[in-house]
Structure 1
Amino acid sequence: MTWSAPLEVDADWDFHSAGEDSPADLRALYVAACQRSRRAAAGHPSLSDRAAKPSFGGGPVSLRWIFVHMIEETAQHRGHLDLLRDALD
């Protein structure tokens, strides 16, 4: 399964694409994405294994790099959530 945002058609897609989705729907999408990622990672015995295709504007990246990148992304977005929660309190 390949997923991509239609940014060439709608540059602001990521700002309004989930406007009608319920929190439960969004959580289900997130859980399904995590499950797909875990299955893909489980097929690699080493964190040094490289992706089949070049990514992120460079050469092939390792599974280790992908994990670190996802930790960074999750932490950054968690920080955004904390700011939003503080603004609502």
Structure 2
Amino acid sequence: MTIERREPATDAGERAMLEGWLDYHRATLAVKCEGLDDAQLRTASVPPSELSLLGLVRHMAEVERSWFRRVLANDDAGPLYYSDEDPDGEFHLGEADTWEEAYTTWQGEIAVARRNAARFGLDDLSEGRSRFTDKPFNLRWIYTHMIEEYARHNGHADLLRERVDGATGD
């Protein structure tokens, strides 16, 4: 499968621009994982960190779920990979954890995120709250935060991928 990334049009409106950059960064993470097998995706290649590309994808599935389900839509969706006992569970991979499952879950959360966001205007406030504050967020803030979250983790993915097989690129 070849992942296509498209920058938003330089004259796009605000919502199209925000959605376009978010989709671009989602695709960037997928590109960083493209062509690797499960063992490579599971490799924590920048010691002493446990961080792996598979862990990053699982983390971003959790982040999508948190902001677009729990916060934006007030959906009582439980965690996918973490627990009270293991708050960083998405990064702690077991033998049964696979790319196929993580990718499918991540893409499913992205699809729900798009559906939930379509119901809100950029200035509309979230129906739920984050676990860190009791304040509502507007969709514009959530989009901007998600772009920042992906951009930061895509930087991590660059380093991880380069250490796994030497591949570099944007």
TM above 0.5, yes or no, is: yes
Which fold has the larger relative contact order, with Cα–Cα distance below 8 Å and residues 6 or more apart in sequence?
Answer: 2
Moved over 6 A (4+): none
Unaligned runs of 5+ in 1: none
Partner of 1:87: 163
> Distance in 2 between the 1:42 and 1:12 partners?
30
Match of 1:29 among 105, 115, 119: 105
Unaligned runs of 5+ in 2: 1-75
Residues 68-77 or 49-58, more deviating: 49-58
Partner of 2:133: 57
Give TM-score, length-normalised by structure 1. Answer: 0.82
User: What amino acid maps onto 2:113 in structure 1?
Assistant: S
> Distance in 1 between the 2:94 and 2:149 partners?
19
Partner of 1:3: 78
Q: CA RMSD in A?
A: 1.9
> Distance in 2 between the 1:19 and 1:47 partners?
41
Residues 16-25 or 58-67, more deviating: 16-25
Deviation at 1:53?
Answer: 2.3
> Could you say if the C-alpha distance between residues 66 and 24 of structure 1 is closer, same or farther in structure 2, counting changes exceeding 3 Å?
same
Match of 1:69 among 145, 156, 162: 145
Give TM-score, length-normalised by structure 2. Answer: 0.46
Identity, % of aligned positions: 36
> Distance in 2 between the 1:50 and 1:18 partners?
38
> Distance in 2 between the 1:59 and 1:19 partners?
39
